[in-house]
Structure 1
């Protein structure tokens, strides 16, 4: 069935696993000079493969579209590939004008421009509208207004925003990913603050996942964005292991030595690895991520990405602003 070919397991084919095992055994039994040469070639191959991510978006979506080719809707029409773009903020600014009245302004950006160039894809955006809407009439009105812009809101209350966005995202992850280190405050206070912020971070990511799951249709591709949503791939895959999930980071990814200082380092890495495809701005950032997975989690880095018990997460360097 077409659906099966699209939603097939993302595990590495057995033949490929056997090939990797054979190559590893050959390297172990080779002379040191040969091993050095092989390792050098492998490093070059890794760099070249990670650098092949320039067509990351197009390749990912075209592959999904090809898998759905020939699918028909109940009314006889053909399916259009759907892309669910999930980011902390929607590409829309919302201003409340009344109890059930909102004005919206669409903002541009590199991601918006990139998706405009992808043909035959119906993109919907899921994210926080940047405003607190505690009342149901306001939420219904904003949801209706955003639907006209192909946007779907995630409603976060002020406490979640404070702990998740202002706290863990902007106080912990952003400085660390930019090599500024963790907050140097009173140790006990910092630990308590970190624990509450990390709990809010995971809760917020699950709230995003709940909205995605509500609107997901079989065959959709879900594309998660940035350090705000590192837990989202895991949340989505836990709900539906066949869901096609990508994740892209819009900031640097630090060296493994820096990432190792983060208390939640292993949880975040494994959550991201739940994605089928992971993208970074540069080869160095992609290499840092693979290195963190090998040094912190003890996993194997390959020319294609990172392997964990036969399952491959592809890693690529992508030119996307």
Structure 2
């Protein structure tokens, strides 16, 4: 395929980007000058200005709610939501509608019209909480079935305070769409595990119903996006759960700016062509204006699938079909590092760090943080550590492996089977002297 990169040449910076960079530089200077006269500012021992909210975080006051509010709502000191002042003029910040299967919070029902919200764990949440340049709204499923109108209204109101908009999916849709097609079909295939090897007739019938539920769920997400969309918004769709969403959105409004990003590998075309709905999914994703992947290899696999399965033309910029270009690029994901650095200054965190230092004093510590997932290789990691200790007896008692494992997709049958390795993991960890913490 022509070309060896799907990213634009970084030396040719578009004029609008130059304008944005200059504008951000001026705004930073203005913020610095305004902080010097801010009556509520305090200064730490290093001379760095610290706002009241950050000082409260350091002191550990209302630790949980404060962190959630800061992560989901941004700095509380923003004077006018959605506006930024520059040289006496007011600019409206561009709205970004982030659409993902799950919201960054999990909802827990406390009463007929009462809900509590907790921040969700996961890489997608950690990465997107660092997006602060836009007036962002997050659209997704709250992870709970809410069949009654009173509960839906109360949850919608609670989520609105966190700049979140719910999509209400019933239990059957969740079972067929999320547990079925997403995590029983797409996820294993995208990780090269292949399609389920069950009775062929039963698999075919199950696949058809799950695929229908998948399309229906994507349409439900599109309905909510369209309801809240305003001219000029950018819609950012995420992951394999919503591959049909770009097509649904473009059918509503062909001028809507739509991006789609995949947070898993995209397999080679030989693997993808084993999926019965391969062409439908590729065409739906190509309705987006920009398609993003973590690595160049994943982007190349996607373009190859479009050229070999659909017969479209692959270009250095992406995929072209009869003059319409869908840009394809690699965008390595990151995190809001400042958020984690600030967490080190919080008193309860410092206390926990001290406890860990005392627990593992005098020993080297190796840390693993993974979902309890069949592809993460946690049992293999522990066996490798055991092998290392067998062959290097002088390291026994001097090194420890600390593995944090978070259960995932507990409603999917294949994952229930895979996570039976929980007991195996704990047993193996005892043999090789490692510590495993499973949340």
Q: How does the TM-score come out when normalised to structure 2?
A: 0.57
Gaps of 5+ in 1: 1-41, 67-71
Matched residues in 2 for 1:189 and 1:319: separation? Answer: 39
Shift of 1:112: 4.5
Aligned residues: CA RMSD: 2.5
Matched residues in 1 for 2:230 and 2:248: separation? Answer: 16
State the match for 2:134 in structure 1: 121
SS in 2 for 1:224: strand
Q: Does 1:292 align with 2:249?
A: no
State the match for 2:394 in structure 1: none
Does the 8 A contact of 2:8 with 2:317 survive in 1? no
State the match for 1:307 in structure 2: 320
State the match for 1:249 in structure 2: 262
Q: Does 1:228 align with 2:241?
A: yes
Matched residues in 2 for 1:169 and 1:266: separation? Answer: 17
Q: How does the TM-score come out when normalised to structure 1?
A: 0.77
User: Which of 34, 40, 47 matches 2:4?
Assistant: 47
Matched residues in 2 for 1:79 and 1:315: separation? Answer: 29
Moved over 6 A (4+): none
Kindly report which structure 2 residues correspond to 1:126-275, keeping only aligned pairs within 5 A, or say none: 126-275=139-288
User: Which of 273, 283, 296 matches 2:296?
Assistant: 283
Matched residues in 1 for 2:99 and 2:271: separation? Answer: 27
User: Relative to 1, partners in 2 of residues 1:185 and 1:120: Cα closer, same or farther, differing over 3 Å?
Assistant: closer
State the match for 1:79 in structure 2: 92
Count of aligned pairs between the two proteins: 265
Matched residues in 2 for 1:205 and 1:164: separation? Answer: 9
Deviations along 1:258-298, one digit per CA (max 9) or x if unpaired, are: 00000000000000000000000111100000000000000
User: Relative to 1, partners in 2 of residues 1:149 and 1:96: Cα closer, same or farther, differing over 3 Å?
Assistant: same
SS in 2 for 1:78: strand
Shift of 1:120: 3.7
Deviates more, 1:183-192 or 1:95-104: 183-192
RCO higher in structure (CA 8 A, sep ≥6): 1
Shift of 1:187: 1.1
SS in 2 for 1:141: helix
Does the 8 A contact of 1:85 with 1:124 survive in 2? yes
